[in-house]
């Protein structure tokens, strides 16, 4: 009888602990939901640096929502040749030194901060655990730390520091399984206002470059190879065939994402039969290149080297006597 009473006592004492743990998880998820809401609704001007390989890349970012509910954004790289990304509603324009200015129809701009942060961020729950990790102080502001941890070893973790007042991002770190920070985004300035920044008022009146028309079927061409292995949660986005601008060499390309991370795979004919894998690291991003049986395969993305190698090794030709 005493053993039965002891067992029931242990079971009952465990219930509040489990409830408390679930409350903490729900709270962390609520923070990410509020982050997404803030990135879609607030007017702000902010600066941040991307730190990787002992090198810092400074950016300035204007964000606002006009009276029609249209999002306006300017993201500028402050060092080196001018690189700007401009967003008006569903049109995003790119100003780069290598190419004439151009625009594309898209809801999101390409930059260092994952687009999922302003989207359906809780869709990550299927393949990541979202947990609270205490409080901190960043940029003179109280911050809540939330960790986005992969459920398998094939991906990196993302740690985020969120402003307790506005729920905006103050800091982000990409971390390997040893806890080493491979890449970091540190905000250095943040102004939030009821009115949109003046730079966005100017953008609203500015005519953007003409939208590039992508030929029908270009983003989803049928290729002669497949990727048989990807980390959990990755789905195919698009595929196409084109020539490299500098060498005119034909290359085939497929891209994949799990919502948070993007991976690109390139396949092209090689002049040599075999070449061992070569790895180039840029912060959390890896570029792997190898040649197997006269086919060159490259993998680029923010994934561990073991995952990149496994992706490359899993590339399989559907027609063995026909190279890309």
* pLDDT cut 70: percent of the chain above it: 86
Q: CATH for 22-205, among 2.50.20.10, 3.40.50.300, 3.40.190.10, 1.10.20.10?
A: 2.50.20.10
Q: What is the mean pLDDT of residues 8-27?
A: 59
Half-sphere exposure (CA, 13 Å, Cβ side) for 84?
15
According to CATH, the topology of domain 225-317 is Phosphorylase Kinase; domain 1 (3.30.200)
pLDDT in tens, 22-62: 656 678 999 999 999 999 999 999 999 999 998 999 999 99
Domain ranges of the chain: 22-205, 225-317
pLDDT in tens, 96-124: 888 889 999 988 888 999 999 999 999 99
What is the structure's pLDDT at 17? 47
SS percent in the chain: helix, strand, coil, step 5: 20, 45, 35
Burial 26-49 (b: 16+ CB within 10 A, else e): eebbebbebbbebbeebbbbbbbb
How many Å apart are CA 73 and CA 135, to the nearest integer?
Answer: 29
How many Å apart are CA 151 and CA 288, to the nearest integer?
Answer: 24
Query: Above 80 in pLDDT, residue 19?
Result: no
Query: Above 70 in pLDDT, residue 12?
Result: no
What is the structure's pLDDT at 247? 55
What is the structure's pLDDT at 6? 53
Q: Cβ(35)–Cβ(117) under 8 Å?
A: yes
Query: Above 70 in pLDDT, residue 2?
Result: no
């Amino acid at each position: 009888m005493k053993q039965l009473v002891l067992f029931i006592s242990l079971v009952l004492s465990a219930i509040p602990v489990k409830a408390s743990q679930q409350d903490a998880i729900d709270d962390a998820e609520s923070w990410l939901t509020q982050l997404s809401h803030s990135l879609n609704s607030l007017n702000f001007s902010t600066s941040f640096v991307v730190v990787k390989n002992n090198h810092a890349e400074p950016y300035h970012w204007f964000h606002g929502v006009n009276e029609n509910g249209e999002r306006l954004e300017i993201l500028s790289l402050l060092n080196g040749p001018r690189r700007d990304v401009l967003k008006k509603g569903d049109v995003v324009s790119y100003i780069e030194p290598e190419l004439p200015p151009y625009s594309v129809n898209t809801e999101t701009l390409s930059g260092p901060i994952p687009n999922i942060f302003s989207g359906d961020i809780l869709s990550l729950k299927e393949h990541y655990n979202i947990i609270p990790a205490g409080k901190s102080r960043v940029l003179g502001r109280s911050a809540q730390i939330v960790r986005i941890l992969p459920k398998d070893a094939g991906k990196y973790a993302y740690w985020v520091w969120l402003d307790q007042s506005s729920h905006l991002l103050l800091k982000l770190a990409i971390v390997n399984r040893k806890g080493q920070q491979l890449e970091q985004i540190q905000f250095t300035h943040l102004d939030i206002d009821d009115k949109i920044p003046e730079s966005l008022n100017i953008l609203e009146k500015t005519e953007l470059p003409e939208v590039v028309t992508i030929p029908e079927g270009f983003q989803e061409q049928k290729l002669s190879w497949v990727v048989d292995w990807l980390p959990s949660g990755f789905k195919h986005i698009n595929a196409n065939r084109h020539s490299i601008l500098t060498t005119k060499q034909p290359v085939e390309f497929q891209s994949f994402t799990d919502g948070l991370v993007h991976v690109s795979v390139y396949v092209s004919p090689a002049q040599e039969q075999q070449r061992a894998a070569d790895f180039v690291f840029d912060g959390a991003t890896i570029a792997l290149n190898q040649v197997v049986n006269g086919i060159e395969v490259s993998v680029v993305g923010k994934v561990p080297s073991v995952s990149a190698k496994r992706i490359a090794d899993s590339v399989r030709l559907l027609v063995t006597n026909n190279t890309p």
